[in-house]
Copies of this chain bind each other. A is one copy, B any other.
């Protein structure tokens, strides 16, 4: 049993005329962002939260259900409501990797290797993607992922120095399998959304070398901007994939 103080929570100054469930949802979000509950933590029970906000169970349920629908929390009957995370078991964590083989094996589950680090300044593409000034200092990593013992994915990842000071040494030290888990644990930044733009282009010399393909071969460019729970863009990366054995999958309704 997890203990929760039952302090009163008033919904703070906010857009008025918002329905109560939306205000509660916003405030719960705020409390997650503030670190009151960390990724992986269990939230208080519905009834507890209902008491905190002096609202009915149904109203609180709706607020939490919407958070669950947006992937911010996971709910389990009999156990509780948990803040989503990039750690955790495969079935209860964020998953933004859409590259997989025909048989369904995901590229992200395979071995990865950081192969280069470099201090650079944001070029116009990166600056536009992140909504920052061109020339802002940052660090760029190259990472290579293999599948079926062949290199299939080269990633060029850019972090703002301002948001992630000294991330280079952290990565050197931990060689993290998941960059977003590292952000979560060391910088209290929870990536909840990614926006990707895909193009088919001819492989550059650099890409061709790392991916062991002829220069000029068609490769898939996936330009990603990762966004944290407050909606701020926090990471830019360009992925270059060889789509012989694997493909990018996307469903919409």
Residues of chain B lying within 8 A (CB to CB) of residue A195:
249-251
- Which of A48-56, A114-122, A196-204 makes up part of the contact surface? A196-204
Chain A: how many interface residues by the 8 Å CB criterion?
Answer: 31
User: Which residues of chain B are near A219, meaning CB under 8 Å?
Assistant: 200, 218
Interface 9-mer from A75-83, A137-145, A240-248: A240-248
Closest to A69 in B: B69
Question: A200 contacts which chain B residues (CB < 8 A)?
Answer: 200-201, 218-221, 241, 243
Partner of A250, one of B98, B199, B221: B98
B250 lies within 8 A of A250 (CB): yes
Q: Choose from B70, B198, B218 the contact partner of A201 (Cβ within 8 Å).
A: B218
- Chain B residues in 8 Å Cβ range of A248: 197-199
- Determine if A192 is an interface residue (Cβ-Cβ < 8 Å): yes
A100's nearest neighbour on chain B, judged by CB, is: B197
A26 within 8 A of B: no
Pair B243/A70 contact, Cβ less than 8 Å = no
Central interface residue in A199, A200, A202, A243, by most chain B CB within 10 Å: A200
Is A194 an interface residue when CB atoms closer than 8 A count as contact? yes
Check A220 against B199 for contact (C-beta < 8 Å).
yes
A224 to chain B, nearest CB (A): 10
A202 contacts which chain B residues (CB < 8 A)? 217-218
> CB-CB < 8 A to A197: which residues of B?
247-249
| Residue-wise interface mask of A (87-100) relative to B, using a CB-CB cutoff of 8 A (1 in contact, 0 not) | 00000001010100
CB A177 to nearest CB in B, in angstroms, measures 19
Nearest CB in chain B: distance from A198 CB, A: 4
- Taking CB atoms, residues of chain B closer than 8 Å to A192 are 253
With A98-B250, A198-B220 already in contact, 15 other A-B pairs whose C-beta atoms are closer than 8 Å: A193-B252, A195-B250, A196-B251, A198-B249, A199-B220, A199-B243, A199-B248, A200-B218, A200-B220, A200-B221, A201-B218, A201-B243, A202-B217, A217-B218, A218-B219
Task: Name the 4 nearest CB pairs between A and B, nearest first.
Answer: A218-B218, A199-B243, A200-B200, A200-B220
What would be 25 A-B contacts, judged by CB atoms less than 8 Å apart?
A: A96-B252, A98-B250, A98-B252, A193-B251, A193-B253, A194-B251, A194-B253, A195-B249, A195-B250, A196-B252, A198-B198, A199-B220, A199-B248, A200-B200, A200-B201, A200-B218, A200-B219, A200-B220, A200-B221, A200-B243, A201-B218, A202-B217, A217-B218, A218-B218, A220-B220
